[in-house]
Amino acid sequence: MTLGRLIDRSRFDVAFACLRRWGPFVEELGQLGIPLREYQVATFRSVHALAQQARLARQISRGRIDIVHAYNFYGNVFAIPPARLMAPVVIASIRDRSPYLTPMQKRVQRYACQFADRILVNADAVRDWLIQDEGYDPANIVVIRNGVDMSRFAGAPAGQAIRRELGVAPDERLVVVVSRLARLKGIEVFLEAAAALKQRYPDVRFLVVGETSPPDRAYLDDLKRRAAGFGVADRVIFTGLRSDIPAILGAASVAVMPSLNEALSNVLLESMAAAAPVVATRVGGTPEALHDGETGLLVPPGDAGAIVGAVSRLLDNPELARRLGRNARAVIHERFSVDLMVRSTEKLYAELLEKKQQRRSPAAACV
């Protein structure tokens, strides 16, 4: 979505496709005037899936689409084969190390990705995993890291307004998790840590910001039961999906990323951009952005005690927390700007398309 918003429209016409027309971005695409096509597929092992792939191939051809960029397992497996038949340039994206995929799914994705011109990843950790563990060709992998739109974090903090809305007292401190609510995000570990932190810091409230996907609505109820079981139901607020993430992160005394699996988390980068003191698990590409003791604190994944220790260290030492937050914001500004991400992706698109055009028709490429 960030790429779709900010890509140079004088050079690129943009269209989106999805397997399910769902989520908050559907309305935004309409507002931006970006076409969105849906290819409903319940399972790839069906004649209907083949029919939908044929439909995609026809629309690529009719639309004279030059570049098809697929994202993650379902997008890669569905779109790459028909795109390879019809489009000059095909790009796959793999955004994490995919612990949720079965060995068969990983093999299927690897097979599909061999037909892509490049595989775009967002962290060195993902690139290394693909090469060392999954057998991908290093020459086909490109790393372009996620970027943050710093303009979203330029306003004055709105901490008191958020506190009033959520029923949090002005003198209470906020420990915040912003995450899609899924089982590999470590929310259970955070709730366990919250129970210990509650005993030490009666002035601390805990926010869990995010929502579940439609197939997993029961997971939120499970998390609320766990919060009650840990004795922190009165201190934890499940806010649901919010559109004011920069303001919430700006109001945080500590932002926690307890995930058990990540590549390079957008939430991590946004927390750093907001100058929030961050405690994050040492997973995937997180150490590529957050350096322990310099721009935040790293802890082992799945270790509630380590989260308690790191959060306590920041709550007890406000000057350390402020210093880490300032350093983190500077790193995002220098290395993880959204402009760098978008321009790098545009450059990749243009270079691959130019190479294909030269191969097919050198004279035409000069016109």
Predicted local confidence at residue 358, as pLDDT: 83
Predicted local confidence at residue 156, as pLDDT: 54
How many CA atoms are closer than 13 Å to the CA of 33, on its beta-carbon side? Answer: 2
> In this structure, which amino acid lies at residue 107?
R
Average pLDDT score over residue span 253-268: 93
All structural domains of the chain: 2-147+338-365 (3.40.50.2000), 150-335 (3.40.50.2000)
Query: Is the model's pLDDT at 360 over the cut of 90?
Result: no
Place of tokens 């961050």: 278
List C-alpha distances in Å: 263 to 99, 250, 307.
11, 24, 20
Question: pLDDT of 124-176, one tens digit each?
Answer: 999 999 999 999 999 999 999 999 988 888 765 666 788 888 889 988 999 99
Query: Is the model's pLDDT at 361 over the cut of 70?
Result: no
Tokens at residue 284, please? 């995937």
Question: pLDDT of 330-343, one tens digit each?
Answer: 999 999 999 999 99
CA-to-CA distance for 269 and 331, rounded, in angstroms? 9
Place of tokens 């994705």: 109
Cα 15 to chain centroid distance, Å, stands at 20
Question: pLDDT of 205-257, one tens digit each?
Answer: 999 999 987 667 789 999 999 999 999 999 999 999 898 899 999 999 999 99
Average pLDDT score over residue span 253-269: 93
Q: Where are the alpha helices (DSSP H) in 264-337?
A: 266-273, 286-289, 304-316, 318-335
The answer to whether residues 207 and 227 touch, using CB atoms and an 8 Å cutoff, is no
CA-to-CA distance for 267 and 278, rounded, in angstroms? 11
Predicted local confidence at residue 215, as pLDDT: 66
Tokens at residue 122, please? 């967002």
CA-to-CA distance for 148 and 333, rounded, in angstroms? 8
Mean pLDDT of the chain: 92
Question: pLDDT of 4-59, one tens digit each?
Answer: 999 999 999 999 999 999 887 999 999 999 999 999 998 998 999 999 999 999 99
Pairing of strands 118-121, 204-209: unpaired
